[in-house]
Amino acid sequence: MFAYYKILGEKTFEQLKEKDFSWQYNSESNSIATIVKHLRGNMVSRWTDFLYSDGEKSSRNRDDEFENNLRTKEEIINLWNEGWQCSMAALESLSVEDLTREIYIRNQGYKVVDAVNRQLAHYAYHVGQIVFIGKMICNDRWQSLSIPKGKSVQYNKDKFASPKHGEHFTDELLKGKKD
């Protein structure tokens, strides 16, 4: 699921021009660049030394994450990739036994499985914001990341034309990304 949300963000980025990453609806809203900066800060803080130190690292400057000061798409994508690489490496290193261990975020204890779910929900929330902002910016140029409006009947017809099989709903999307 983490990989799925990463890909949704990236499929949004592909549809945007460089200037779009800094666009804000109003002064109280965040740009895509700011959301990426925040996600990266959160990911590096939470997942670095995940099992052994508090998830809110003293080196994190959370307030700075909300300054809209990134200017290039390359800079934004680099932060995006840094955060996801840190997250995925930590997730991939976990064993089944680790899932019941206790870790801390701001001195509050969590079972590892609960901390992982907390982060998944947090990332899904912000990727949803990125997608929504991307849709607003692209308007009628937007290419749907799921079943396009008015295409549900055909989509279901195609799905039910295939035999029943076991795969995760994200396999199709992820397979396209790996090719």
- Note the pLDDT of residue 73: 96
- What is the SS3 assignment for 71? coil
Q: What CA–CA distance (Å, rounded) separates 43 from 60?
A: 10
Give the Cα separation of 123 and 49 in Å (integer): 19
Please report the pLDDT score of residue 170 as a whole number.
76
Token code pair at residue 61: 């400057």
Q: Grade residue 179 by pLDDT with cuts at 50, 70 and 90.
A: very low
- The answer to whether 86 and 44 are in contact (CB under 8 A) is yes
